[in-house]
């Protein structure tokens, strides 16, 4: 017999799989976003494919929201996740811009 007080009600049993899959997809979709963005910028992909990059970022943000909701994160963690989503959005812009500037300065 299991002591009922030992059972933690924080996360519903059926939500675990969704949490794990959505949190894994956060980075998978995030990787696609960053990868496509960079590939378009260095001309490995056609410019119109950039649309897919932004779609992947939207999916990333949705997965973060889903994961956070099902985990019942606190207010602070929710804000941290929003910061992470915005950080991921800006990251390729910032890194690419800086790399490109250095490249231009040294090549031309």
Partner 1 sequence: MASNHLTGIGSESKQLATWYFTFAAILFGAQLLFGLVAAIQYVMPGFLYGILDFSIARIIHINALVVWMVFAMFGSVYWLLPDETGIETVGIKIGKLLFWIFALAIVIVVLVFLFIQVGPASDTTIWFITEGREYIEAPRWADWGIVVVALGFVGNLFLTGMKGKQTGIVTVLMADMIAFAGLYLAGMFFTDNISVDQYWWWWVIHLWVEATWEVFVGAIAAYGLIKMIGAHRQVVEMWLWIEVAMLFGSGILGLGHHYFWIGTPEYWWEIGALFSALEPLPLVAMFVHVLYDWGKTQGAEMAKEHTDEYQAKSVITNKPAFTWFVLNAFGNFLGAGVWGFFHTLPQVNLYTHGTQFTAAHGHLAFFGAYATILVGMFYIAVQGTNGIKVLKSTKLSIWSTSLITGGMLVMTVALTIAGYVQVLVSRAQMGATWAGYFDGQSGVWFAQAMDWRLIAGVVVFTGFILLAIDLLTTGKNPVHKR
The residue ranges that bind partner 1 (CB under 8 A) are: 2-3, 6-8, 10-11, 13, 16-17, 19-20, 23-24, 26-28, 30-31, 34-35, 37-39, 41-44, 71-73, 76-77, 80-81, 83-84, 87-88, 91-92, 95-96, 98-99, 102-103, 105-107
CB of 61 to partner 1, least distance (A): 13
Is 67 strand, coil or helix?
A: helix
> Measured from the CB of residue 66, what is the shortest distance to partner 1 in angstroms?
13
Structure tokens at 68: 């956070």
Rounded to whole angstroms, the maximal C-alpha distance in the chain is 75
The CB density around residue 97, as the number of other CB atoms within 10 Å, is 11
């Amino acid at each position: 017999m299991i002591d009922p007080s030992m059972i933690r009600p924080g996360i519903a049993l059926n939500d675990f799989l969704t949490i794990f899959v959505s949190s894994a997809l956060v980075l998978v979709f995030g990787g696609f976003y960053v990868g496509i963005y960079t590939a378009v910028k260095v001309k490995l992909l056609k410019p119109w494919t950039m649309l897919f990059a932004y779609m992947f970022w939207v999916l990333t943000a949705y997965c973060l929201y889903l994961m956070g909701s099902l985990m019942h994160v606190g207010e602070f963690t929710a804000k941290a996740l929003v910061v992470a989503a915005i950080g991921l959005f800006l990251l390729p812009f910032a890194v690419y811009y800086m790399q490109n500037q250095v490249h231009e300065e040294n090549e031309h």
